[in-house]
Structure 1
Amino acid sequence: MKHFTVTVLARGKKTEHRLYAEGKKEAHYMAKVKFPGILVKVEESSPPLEEQFAQFKANLFKNAKKKKLKPDSQIAAINQLAVMTNAGISIHDSLAELADATEDKTLKEILSKCGEDINAGSSLYNAMNNFRSQLGGLTLAMVELGEKTGNMAEALAKLAVMLEEIRMNVIKFKKAMAYPRNVMIAMAVAFSILLSFVVPQFKEIFEQLGANLPLPTRILMFLSDMLTQYGLFVLAGIAVIYLVIKYMIDHNREFRYGFHQFLLRLYLIKGIILYSTLNRFTLVFSELVRSGIPIAEALDTAINMTDNLPLKEKLTTVRSAVEKGSTLHEGLEETGLFENMIISMVSAGEQSGQLDTMLNKVTEYYKMRFDKIIDGLQEAIEPVMLGIIAVMVLMLALGIFLPMWSLGDAAMGRG
């Protein structure tokens, strides 16, 4: 909703009023109905600071209270929904039965609300679209595929397989990250204890002796003071910064775009995001093409399930190119995301009339690349982890021993 300032002339005086509307046309209509007098102008404006703060606070708490859907519960529900749909049970009755059977409160709420929306005349896709953040873009894409092809049971069964693959990849990722994460947490705790209890003791000794402290020692003393005197404020500041960044990512598209672009430049993270996105894109696209959906429409559906905005923007150019008369492989080549081998495979598929077969091979290739990154994640992150540990140990050693050596040299010189 946008904020508008409305100027009205009534009884010879101009007064300003504020209202929220979807657009200027709607704001103009609402102003005529709501405010008596002659409508002078309606212009979009920024809401007052107190309203902006109230909205920020409301959205912040709304996001904090939003419950996540457990992957296991979602996969089990989709599997059961596929079986019940295949058995000829209506979607509405299937959702109602699943809602009664599940013990997951979040899933129960989603299924019940979707059932109510379907009973009111909505499609399953539109009903589930209200819970996009919990269900995910892939679920919505496959449900839309089921509605378009008329084979919802098959689409749901494939969706369950895909979600299971994604869940297994997440589990593999967490297992690969467990060892380096635990080591870094242990090092951070040890470093914090040293800064809080050990470094202050040396600080008193150095101050009593009046030594000129080198840069590593001064940095160490600064960190120690920050932790001992302002530790709670630092933690509160980090929490506030995290919440503000999360709010901006959720509610500001430009900020979210910049954040996604930043992720694509990070070591290892960029590969995980790129290959997981291309794997999902080609997976959904190939299923749509195999089911007889036109290429432009299939591209639109597959692109809409892409979460990373810079990648989504590049993939959107494929659809534009196809609509202008270019071939699919030419559109893919323009994005700069796909390797020459993939472009050649798609081109061969187009020429031979076996595009869906080639797209399946492309999907398998990107799945292999993604699995390879996940399998080698622990090995790849070890140099980074060792580098961070080395910096922490070196900082601590230099910060404490350099001034001690200086004092020793000074004592020897006086002796």
Structure 2
Amino acid sequence: MAIKGDKPGAPGLKRVGAAKKGVTRKTGAKATFDLDEAVAAVEAPASYTSSLPAVMTKPLFGSTVKKKYVNDFLRQLIMLLDAGTSLLKSLTILSERSEQRALRELITDITRYVENGNALWQAFERHPREFDPVFVNLIKAGEASGTLTTVLRRVVKYRESEEMMGRRLAGAMWYPAILVTVCMLVLLLIAKVVIPEFKELFERLGASLPWYTTDFIAFVEFVSSMKFIVPVVIALVALYTFYRFWVRSPLNRLRADRIKLMIPVVGKSILRKSAIIEFTRSMSLLLRSGISMMVTLDLVRGAIQNQAVAQVMQRIRDSVERGEGIEQPLREAKALVPAVVTDMLVTGEESGQLEQIAEHIAETYEEEVEISIATLGELLQPILTIVIGLIVMTLFAALFVPMISLLDGLMASGAGGGSGV
């Protein structure tokens, strides 16, 4: 596949003949795909307003169907299509047997739209929360070239790897979250039960407390009274509201996204590598499906959430449009794109194997992100252990040291009184 100088409208599907025979999934009848027409169809990117009334540009339902449920639906759809079931019948079966309400409504709407004679990609396009433009255009390419199940299989593999990565990140956070929660509950119990008993005992004995014990008791009483909750909540809401308004500016959004990628450990080891996985995997999927480089870059740029990375994709697109290739903009983005990734992508471009190289990069970085997630979890555990240890030491120093001193004083005075008698 030639990459440099690829212009919009350039052939994006490999031509093996004027036409290719296939089987329509809706009726099961033989059909002929004209690849010139398929190219024209695919090279026109799907638009969420292309063939739908304005109201349909909004999500049909109030909540998004969980990615896991959507992936299960797509996986089952592939199995039915591989078994020779027509597309319409497969969708009907899945809509009737789905136990999850939101997913059932989603599949039912897709089924009805396909039943009315529309393409599957058009039905998916109606649900932008569940199916992004990259996914829609991949399905569009698969239908146009008669390779729907092949494309679906690739997309599902990608979506499942994304889902698994999210699960691993959530799993790495579970132990620290549980540890912090238990610690807070124990401290609350101490504040409500233990400290009042200690305070009453000190007052009854008329003991003078050191300043650190007095300050500690005052701090714990303040925290347990929950008086700080309202001002803290107000401050957090105000800060969040300010941030939401601040990032509405494209320039501020770009700055915020750059800062996210620079955060130690989380930004550099997870967010940045995840962004590289996102654009290389999407690029590989789109190019493998026969979509031209220009359209691929447009779609990938639109799908990427981080604006710093999207800006790099825009510069790559402009460079390719000028016939200059992808190397220069990647070299200029060395703060975001490692040199080794740039070298591999440039090699893939020059050898005509960009799809394979991009896929290899995505797989390699997935492994690295998994290691980074595991490392993050391992790093948080000793840090939290140290913090909890410091809290216990503070508690002991503030309460038990004065208590021990008080008991020593009482014993000493008792011994002195006994000897005097």
**Alignment of 1:284 onto 2:282:** yes
- Output the amino acid matched with 1:392: I
1:79-118 equivalences under 5 Å are 79-85=75-81, 91-118=87-114
Partner residue in 2 for 1:351: 350
Conserved? CA contact 1:220–1:395, under 8 Å: no
> Following TM superposition, by how much is the alpha carbon of 1:331 offset from its aligned partner in structure 2, in angstroms?
2.4
Aligned equivalents of 2:325 and 2:191: distance in 1? 62
- Output the amino acid matched with 2:363: E
> Following TM superposition, by how much is the alpha carbon of 1:298 offset from its aligned partner in structure 2, in angstroms?
0.9
Partner residue in 1 for 2:219: 222
Partner residue in 2 for 1:295: 293
Q: Which structure dedicates a bigger proportion of its chain to helix?
A: 1
Aligned equivalents of 2:390 and 2:314: distance in 1? 43
Cα shift readout 1:1-56 (whole Å, capped 9, x = no counterpart): xxxxxxxxxxxxxxxxxxxxxxxxxxxxxxxxxxxxxxxxxxxxxxxxxxxxxxxx
Partner residue in 2 for 1:318: 316
1:368 partner SS: helix
Residue ranges of structure 2 left out of the alignment (5+ in a row): 1-58, 417-421
Aligned equivalents of 2:129 and 2:317: distance in 1? 25
RCO comparison, higher one (Cα < 8 Å, 6+): 2
2:211 partner SS: coil
1:177-196 equivalences under 5 Å are 177-196=173-192
> Following TM superposition, by how much is the alpha carbon of 1:117 offset from its aligned partner in structure 2, in angstroms?
4.1
Structure with larger Rg:
2
> Following TM superposition, by how much is the alpha carbon of 1:234 offset from its aligned partner in structure 2, in angstroms?
2.4
Aligned equivalents of 1:196 and 1:261: distance in 2? 44
Partner residue in 2 for 1:128: 124
Conserved? CA contact 1:349–1:358, under 8 Å: yes
Partner residue in 1 for 2:371: 372
Provide the TM-score with structure 1 as the length reference.
0.68
Residue ranges of structure 1 left out of the alignment (5+ in a row): 1-62
Aligned equivalents of 2:130 and 2:193: distance in 1? 44
Of the candidates 225, 230, 234, which is equivalent to residue 229 of structure 2? 234
Conserved? CA contact 1:283–1:363, under 8 Å: yes
Provide the TM-score with structure 2 as the length reference.
0.67
> Following TM superposition, by how much is the alpha carbon of 1:189 offset from its aligned partner in structure 2, in angstroms?
1.5
1:145-224 equivalences under 5 Å are 145-147=141-143, 149-204=145-200, 209=207, 211=209, 213-214=211-212, 218=215, 221-224=218-221
Cα shift readout 1:215-244 (whole Å, capped 9, x = no counterpart): x852552343232x337x828965995799
Cα shift readout 1:262-314 (whole Å, capped 9, x = no counterpart): 54344432222222221122112012223332212112222333233433334
**Structure 1 pair 226/328, CA: closer, same or farther in 2 (3 Å)?**
same
> Following TM superposition, by how much is the alpha carbon of 1:159 offset from its aligned partner in structure 2, in angstroms?
1.7
- Output the amino acid matched with 1:317: R
Conserved? CA contact 2:67–2:130, under 8 Å: no
Partner residue in 2 for 1:307: 305
Conserved? CA contact 1:84–1:94, under 8 Å: yes
- Output the amino acid matched with 1:272: I
**Structure 1 pair 73/87, CA: closer, same or farther in 2 (3 Å)?**
same
Aligned equivalents of 1:110 and 1:167: distance in 2? 19
CA RMSD of the aligned region, Å?
4.2
> Following TM superposition, by how much is the alpha carbon of 1:322 offset from its aligned partner in structure 2, in angstroms?
2.5
Conserved? CA contact 1:257–1:309, under 8 Å: yes
